[in-house]
Amino acid sequence: MRHSLRVRRSAVVACLAVVLPLAALAQKSPKRPVLPAGADTNDVMAYYQYGSDVLRDKPDRAAAAFYWAHRLSPDFPDALYGAWVASLLSHRNQLPDYLNGNRGVVNSKTFRTIDSLLYGALALNPFLYHRFDGLLFDAYATLFAVELGSSNPAALDPGTVRFAFQRAVMSDPSMRGWLASAEGRWDAAIDAYTSALKQEKHDASLLASRGRVAFLKGDLDAALADMTAALAERRTTDDKDVVYFYDSKAEFEHSIGMIQERRHDRAAAREAYAQALQEDLSYHQAHVRLAALALADRDTATAISEYDLAAQIQGGDPAVRYQLGTLLAATGRCAEAVEQFKAAIAAEPWFAPPYRALGRALEQLQQPAEALVQYQAFLAHARHNDPDLPGITERAEALRASVRP
């Protein structure tokens, strides 16, 4: 094993067809884990918290919890990221080869499926905080202890193992940067990545890694400079080289767009998202961000157009269908909105908001019996503290009385 490894922080190959993150796992839908007593089984955070609690010791159970968190809230990137880490920990014996970028492992069907989870998370938020990466580091450290000859690495104190492993890789600044960023030590991570860039000044991945940390730290100017430099370096990459999504030009443009949004430069953000689409026409989240910018400018027509384009590219994205339907309903196009809400429900029946929105649209279309059915479905799927519960309960009771034979 090469301990001066370059940690593989990328996801699926850029030429891979865009798929919904959990589509590949749909045939093996895990059973819902039993949550602690009193937990709300309709609450995405209940599953996310449970998955976080058991991730280190029971990754299979954590993966199931994150899976169900994602189904309850398809636009929650942290659930997909958690499922990615849990899935890697469930294949920990192959983790060193994966992190080292062994192509036989990375390009295997199993790991391409696992990587689709990270793809989905980063498409939603390329600046997602990788709070669980330290567990991957620790798992790798335990395997390192095996290589050193420990007869029972599971019995070793995790702190001792980590310390020994840290000393072994301390000469690799990119590894130090990875660990520091996973632990939220932004200044240490930036220093480590800066040291790594002194050795490999034209490395797009290192520039992007430092830029992501700068964004999380709140240093937007440094984040923009690094992401712009990473994009310029990536443009020099031979087209024949394998480039992973996490380091693709489309993802870099998406990142730049988000930085510009945070800097309140909407024109520059729009340009970045347009460039992301030039790099990859299937990158539907760029249309989602363009729609959000149009809404900020109160340009509803453009926002609807952008959401519609996103839906055409990724018709099975329930969040996009729901957002499009919401805008259509707000502009009085309730019949079209109904079709979008139905498509969202068909794509993900556990996602509660489309039921509520569909009920309201059907009421506008003078279909009280059908609206009642959707309100009842919303009440069955909504979390217990949903602020709309009282109002929808009241509307359902009123409709129940009015449509009774």
Q: What is the pLDDT of residues 39-84, one digit of tens each?
A: 999 999 999 999 999 999 999 999 999 999 999 999 999 999 999 9
Q: Which domain holds residue 62?
A: 1-169
Identify whether 131 is part of a domain: yes
Identify whether 102 is part of a domain: yes
CA neighbor of 237 nearest in space, from 283, 275, 203? 203
Give the pLDDT of residue 26.
47
> Is 71 within 8 Å of 77 (Cβ atoms)?
no
Give the pLDDT of residue 141.
77
For residue range 186-214, list pLDDT tens digits in order: 999 999 999 999 998 889 999 999 999 99
- CA distances for 276 relative to 44, 64, 164, 222, 328, angstroms: 30, 33, 42, 21, 26
* Two tokens, residue 254: 């998406």
Identify whether 324 is part of a domain: no
Specify the pTM. Answer: 0.88
Identify whether 218 is part of a domain: no
Identify whether 142 is part of a domain: yes
Identify whether 296 is part of a domain: no
Give the pLDDT of residue 348.
97
Identify whether 336 is part of a domain: no
Place of tokens 């301990």: 3
Identify whether 68 is part of a domain: yes
Give the pLDDT of residue 368.
96
Percent of the chain residues topping a pLDDT of 90:
71
Give the pLDDT of residue 4.
34
What would the DSSP string read from start to end of 241-298? S--BGGGSHHHHHHHHHHHHHHTT-HHHHHHHHHHHHHH-TT-HHHHHHHHHHHHHTT
Give the pLDDT of residue 164.
63
> Is 211 within 8 Å of 243 (Cβ atoms)?
no
- CA distances for 80 relative to 75, 283, 404, angstroms: 9, 18, 43
* Two tokens, residue 197: 């860039």
Total domains in the fold of the chain:
1
Instruction: Give the pLDDT means over successive 10-residue stretches in the chain (405 positions).
Output: 38 37 60 94 97 96 97 97 96 86 88 91 95 90 62 57 62 88 96 94 92 98 97 76 65 97 97 96 96 97 98 95 98 97 97 98 97 98 97 96 76
